[in-house]
């Protein structure tokens, strides 16, 4: 494991690690993320082992809405919400496409997707073919890290590269809204309220 300053060269090195099937830790606007290629089943299995204990569906970060649509369906309402709040701390749960392995979603037919508001994250994701697993870089049940060193304390030698982009700005996980139901539902409270989301689709 290497902790690398998030320079352009090191971001490129981290994206190459992702494309080769590695695990990387990287900064986002919310907390530090633990990332890998979501279409590579073997590295997804490794990520679950690193996180530990119970499995739960993995969110996917994308560099833009077009990249989201490689793996997920965005109905009209979801697209309006995404256009308003992305890039930003809002994860939308929408129907997944068959190309995304069932392992990633723990056999659910939906997936949580988001475009983060963070230059380092966006550069890394864009260089990693537009998609990256976006789970928090902590052991299951532990506190999500706000710095590269907090992530290293938890995951240490179990990952390949840690990109240090300084402390995260928000320090709290994104809001998660399920849009697969008849009425949108908050699955996790965060910086954006359900009321703000509902105003877009009224």
pLDDT tens, residue by residue, 20-61? 999 999 999 999 999 999 999 999 999 999 999 778 999 999
**Residue pLDDT, tens place only, 56-82:** 999 999 999 999 999 999 999 999 999
- The Cα 139–Cα 151 span in angstroms is 9
CA distance 90 to 71: 17
Tell if the pTM clears 0.85, that is, is over it. yes
Q: Tell me which CATH homologous superfamily contains domain 2-201.
A: DHBP synthase (3.90.870.10)
């Amino acid at each position: 494991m290497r902790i690398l300053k998030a320079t352009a060269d090191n971001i490129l090195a981290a994206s190459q690690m992702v494309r080769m099937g590695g695990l990387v830790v990287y900064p986002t606007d919310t907390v530090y993320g633990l990332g890998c290629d979501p279409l590579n089943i073997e590295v997804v299995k490794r990520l679950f082992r690193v996180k530990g204990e119970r499995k739960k569906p993995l969110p996917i970060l994308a560099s833009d809405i077009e990249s989201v649509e490689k793996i997920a369906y965005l109905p009209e309402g979801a697209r309006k919400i995404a256009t308003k709040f992305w890039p930003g701390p809002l994860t939308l749960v929408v129907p997944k496409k068959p190309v995304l392995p069932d392992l990633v979603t723990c056999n659910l037919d939906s997936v949580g997707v988001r475009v983060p508001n963070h230059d380092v994250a966006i550069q890394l994701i864009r260089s990693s073919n537009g998609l990256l697993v976006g789970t928090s870089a902590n052991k299951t049940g532990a506190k999500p890290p706000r710095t590269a060193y907090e992530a290293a304390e938890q995951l240490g030698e179990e990952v390949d590269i840690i990109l240090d982009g300084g402390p995260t700005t928000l320090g709290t996980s994104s809001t998660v809204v399920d849009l697969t139901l008849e009425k949108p539902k908050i699955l996790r409270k965060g910086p954006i309220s359900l009321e703000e989301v509902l105003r877009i689709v009224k």
